[in-house]
Amino acid sequence: MTGDWRDWRPAIWLAMLGIAVMLLVSPFYFGALFIGAGIGASIRIRQRRRRAAALSNPTPARVAARGSGRAAGRARAKRKRGR
């Protein structure tokens, strides 16, 4: 993922195609298929971007366990009890 507008190109093109079909074809609701596909594609793109961001950033629990403070103290105590 590049993180810019190019990620959203498939959804944009599907929406534009849906509008074009709505304007050119007499039962306009045939274009709704493409509009719906564009919405579905944008949902999938957003999920992929969020998943990629979550994998690249450490979770707050892991960061807190490495630091000093209550969370780190609890993690150390938990490890001691496990021995």
Residue-wise pLDDT tens digits, 34-63: 999 999 999 999 999 888 888 887 666 555
Residue-wise pLDDT tens digits, 6-22: 889 999 999 999 999 99
Residues 45-60 as b/e (b if ≥16 CB within 10 A, e otherwise) read beeeeeeeeeeeeeee
What integer pLDDT is reported at residue 52 of this predicted model?
Answer: 84
What integer pLDDT is reported at residue 79 of this predicted model?
Answer: 75
What integer pLDDT is reported at residue 59 of this predicted model?
Answer: 65
